[in-house]
Structure 1
């Protein structure tokens, strides 16, 4: 595959069907996920953003629709913790091996627990970052959940 990333390689090894879609990444966009959804003509609820968090000081990954915000209380509960906070961008980049704006839940340098917003499971197909800025992967959210041994939970405010 031309332009392969650790995310696409992970999905190929897991035998998960996906379609790559490239778009023009705008680093100046205030809301990157919404800009990406618009660029590929997808409703924001079907574009899932990947956010790295720390739950009781331990890293975790939250995947939720681009038009939603995390509830740190719900994130902590989803991962069985007491408190949660956003991971600093530099730490997220070191941990995942990806640059912010291109972080994927697939193929991270150091795998961490992952939770998907439960509502996202209702779609046949969603877009998730493919491991570099400007690359999205269209796939079944249920296949993504299974490949990551992730859980579905209510994560948004």
Structure 2
């Protein structure tokens, strides 16, 4: 198989893993339920105003305004690429400090960083850490940059299935 095709497939698989990692963790920690940090309410209301789901909008607003699992997953992917497992652990500590500075009572960012560090460690023989960096950028893009309305509707459905939000 062509090396470029293999690289693209690895990036897409890593992206899907990152997407599931941060969306499930952030939903579990209640990001869709209410705006947890300053600014998240405004984003949620704007998303609702364009026809999106308010709880999906709160999720999106919370990940923009605080170091939740999306930030933890992205930063840990980068640090795993640069430094290995130690980098992922350093990231978890720094994200935990960031949560405390934001007065964020949750631990989604820290758990996201620890979870992706473990996943990258386990999958390293198959998918190198660099693919998780690119994959996480794609994962965030699908939530924050592609289509706010439809992303919020999907996030709202996931939240409802996990008894968060609606």
Instruction: Give your verdict on TM over 0.5.
Output: no
Q: TM-score if structure 1 supplies the norm length?
A: 0.27
> Which protein has greater RCO, CA pairs closer than 8 Å, 6+ apart?
2
Quick check: which one's helix share is greater?
2
Quick check: which one's strand share is greater?
1
Q: TM-score if structure 2 supplies the norm length?
A: 0.26
Bigger Cα Rg: 2
